[in-house]
Amino acid sequence: MGLIAPPRAVQETCLWQFAHALFFLIGGITFIFGTACYYFPDWPESYLAGGVLYTIGSCGFLGVDVMELFTYTSNTILTLNIFMSATGSFLYVVGSIGFIPAVYESTGWNFAGFTPATTGVYGFIAGSFFIGCSQFWKVGRIMTTTKDMTAVGVELNPGLGAWCFFVGTMMYNNPYYLENYYGIIVNIWEVGSVLFTMGALFLTFRHFVMGVA
């Protein structure tokens, strides 16, 4: 009888890697287009389109984190690191929904100063903080172990992207900066979106060119 090859780990399967890369690419690309909508504030549907695209993209990022969270379960530190990213992505989903006009214009509730109007900015500020810290933690772990620079590209780019959104959204939440530096704020968000997409491209390269998880 012939030898039977041992089963591959789930993260080494083509289907897992395809879904993993697709979720990440959806996140980055929809963030680029979502941010682009904010360059046209006079377009009546700009904020609706931007909020919807951000929501789709945030769900993509959350999909990546959930896949990893349920796959890499043998290392407690790694699990905590991924959970931190997932927390940030979940907050991005909440924040993205909060940027949809029907949500932030509603007056249904006020909880300790948090209202529908502040859900978007606070969701993005908190989410960016969690993602930025988590991604930099991942980079530190890589540089003290494998020193794999393509893996650094996967983790560092979205970390920098998150900090772009942190800074940009902090400015967006300040009336003075919003009035006087709106274009710069959107530029910062767009740079962050491109950085998220670069992380996704590094991941796609690793999966389908290098053949590694």
DSSP string, 5-45: PPPPPGGGSHHHHHHHHHHHHHHHHHHHHHHHHTT-TTSTT
- Does residue 7 fall inside a structural domain? no
Q: Give a yes or no: residue 2 inside a domain.
A: no
4, part of any domain: no
In a domain, 3, yes or no: no
pLDDT the model gives residue 4:
53
Query: What's the confidence (pLDDT) of residue 112?
Result: 72
3-class SS at 3?
coil
Q: Is 166 within the bounds of a domain?
A: yes
Instruction: Count structural domains, the chain.
Output: 1
Decide: 107 and 116 in contact? Cβ < 8 Å: yes
Task: For residue 138, count other CB atoms closer than 10 A to its CB.
Answer: 22
Model pLDDT, residue 53: 98
C-alpha–C-alpha distance, residues 78 and 202, integer Å: 20
- Which among 211, 204, 195, 208 is positioned nearest to 157, based on CA atoms? 195
Range of the domain at 186: 12-210
Residue 1, in any domain of the structure: no
Q: Which residues face 114 on adjacent strands?
A: 111
The pLDDT tens digits along the chain (213 residues) read: 445 545 568 888 999 999 999 999 999 999 999 999 999 999 999 999 999 999 999 999 999 999 999 999 999 999 999 999 999 999 999 999 999 999 988 877 777 777 888 999 999 999 999 999 999 999 999 999 999 999 999 999 999 999 999 999 999 999 999 999 999 999 999 999 999 999 999 999 999 999 998
* Residue 63 is assigned to a structural domain of this protein: yes
Task: Provide the pLDDT for residue 5.
Answer: 46
The closest alpha carbon to 135, from 93, 88, 85, belongs to: 85
Residue 5 forms part of a structural domain? no
Instruction: Look at residue 7 in the predicted model and tell me its pLDDT.
Output: 56
